[in-house]
Amino acid sequence: MKLPIDLTGSFLTQFETAKTFLAPYTKRVYLVGGSVRDLYLNAPLHDLDIEVYDMAPDVFDDVMKRVGAVGVGKSFFVYRLGAIDFSLPRVERKSGVGHSAFEVEVCQDEKEASKRRDFSMNAMMVNIFTQELFDFWGGKEAIAKKKACYY
């Protein structure tokens, strides 16, 4: 299934810029999280979250710095450029006691990486090049039922 990515104004400009600078590196780039949910609902967008696959962390860091993105979570591979947060897909595993005792590593499997999202509707992802929707955990169904579902 495809989900049209229908953006306007500064979101559209920033989104098209992101597509341009990421295209030489990978075609596995996804809009993820609440922005996909909001697009599905035709709700106003507040920001965009983009997950970038098939890039090594050092290459990702170099590209983000070259385009002027600011690191907002270096240990989690997250950068911000305008209203877009870019990240590498990751998995988190509890490694001890406490709020911050997690091991974080890059993950190249869309389904596995989507497990870290809080609700099934926030685990949906749309490829920014093909607009293919991935809904591994029943996010569309949760939205239709108006029920936030964990998976």
CB 126 within 8 A of CB 15: no
- pLDDT of 74 reads 56
Q: By CB neighbour count within 10 A (0-12 exposed, 13-18 middle, 19+ buried), where does 151 fall?
A: middle
Domains and CATH numbers, the chain: 9-144 (3.30.460.10)
* Burial zone of 17 (CB within 10 Å; 0-12 exposed, 13-18 middle, 19+ buried): middle
Q: What pTM was computed for the model?
A: 0.85
- Spell out the per-residue pLDDT of the chain, length 151, in tens: 666 677 777 788 889 999 999 999 999 999 998 888 888 888 888 889 999 999 999 999 999 999 999 998 656 689 999 999 999 998 877 677 776 767 778 889 999 888 877 778 888 899 999 999 999 888 888 878 776 655 4
